[in-house]
Amino acid sequence: MLIKITQSQTLLTQATDSKNSLETLFPAGEYFANPTPEGKIEVSLSAQIKALFSFSQFREKVSRGDFVVLEN
């Protein structure tokens, strides 16, 4: 799915080659978001850097207007 982040946000991310979490700036703009087999929503900043949300966390961001779903 395609989402829009309405305001720049610092999100907790994880690089695919690391188990460490980092705070990473996601500027306002459009991003790809995909469900994972573990039941999370993955928002991709790059091929290696992704933020993971539970469905309830993602739904909360949408309801607050932080994220807007552009395409499902």
The number of folded domains in the chain is 1
Instruction: Report helix, strand or coil for 57.
Output: helix
The residue segments making up the domain with residue 32 are: 2-71
Q: Does position 67 have pLDDT exceeding 90, yes or no?
A: yes
Spatial strand order of the sheet with 29-35 comes to: 21-26, 9-15, 49-54, 40-44, 29-35, 2-5, 67-71
Q: Does position 16 have pLDDT exceeding 90, yes or no?
A: no
Residue 15's pLDDT is 76
The whole model's pTM is what? Answer: 0.86
- What are the pLDDT digits (tens) for 25-64? 999 999 999 999 999 999 999 888 899 999 999 999 999 9
Query: Tokens in use for 63?
Result: 């309801």
